[in-house]
């Protein structure tokens, strides 16, 4: 009579963080992405969803500045673009209130 038990699997090995190159590269990639997302959010926010993407770009940019000082340029650009998003929203809202009552990019209409 044959034994129908499954063969024993080896126990999974615990992988300890060694603080090596791989660990540093993974954390650096995440930080680079944070600055990049801030920049892209600010840039896209100039065209659509100013009030949503502007503050997002500012928060992510400031977080990237604090966590990764080596990527200051892209993170600062994200913050500046986020502020520009909010300023553009205020400009469009003021224009809408003064003229025709809707937020739009239609500056050429009469």
Question: Distance (Å, rounded) from C-alpha 35 to C-alpha 71?
Answer: 7
Question: What is the per-residue pLDDT for 83?
Answer: 94
Give a yes or no: residue 76 inside a domain. Answer: yes
Instruction: Please tell me the predicted confidence (pLDDT) of residue 99.
Output: 62
Domain count within the chain: 1
pLDDT in tens, the chain (110 residues): 566 666 666 666 655 555 555 555 555 555 458 888 888 999 999 888 888 899 999 999 999 888 877 778 888 999 999 999 999 988 888 877 766 655 555 555 55
Is 34 part of any domain? Answer: yes
Of 66, 68, 1, which is closest to residue 29 (Cα–Cα)?
Answer: 68
Distance CA 52, CA 60 (A): 13
On whether residue 56 sits in a domain, the answer given is yes
pLDDT of residue 6: 62
Instruction: Quote the tokens at residue 46.
Output: 């100039």
In a domain, 55, yes or no: yes
Q: What's the confidence (pLDDT) of residue 62?
A: 92
In contact, 79 and 62? CB cutoff 8 Å: yes
Query: Is residue 106 assigned to a domain?
Result: no
Q: Which domain holds residue 84?
A: 29-98
Q: Within a domain: residue 57?
A: yes
Residue with tokens 């659509």: 48
107 belongs to a structural domain? no
Q: Is residue 63 part of a domain?
A: yes
What pLDDT is recorded for position 35?
84
């Amino acid at each position: 009579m044959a034994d129908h038990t499954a063969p024993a699997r080896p126990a999974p090995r615990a992988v300890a963080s060694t603080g090596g190159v791989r660990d540093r590269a993974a954390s650096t990639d995440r930080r680079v992405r944070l600055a990049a997302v801030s920049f892209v959010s600010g840039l896209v926010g100039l065209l659509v969803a100013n009030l949503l993407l502007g503050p997002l770009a500012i928060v992510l940019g400031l977080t990237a500045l604090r966590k990764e000082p080596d990527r200051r340029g892209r993170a600062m650009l994200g913050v500046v673009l986020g502020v520009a998003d909010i300023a553009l929203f205020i400009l469009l809202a003021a224009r809408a209130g003064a003229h025709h009552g809707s937020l739009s990019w239609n500056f050429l209409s009469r």
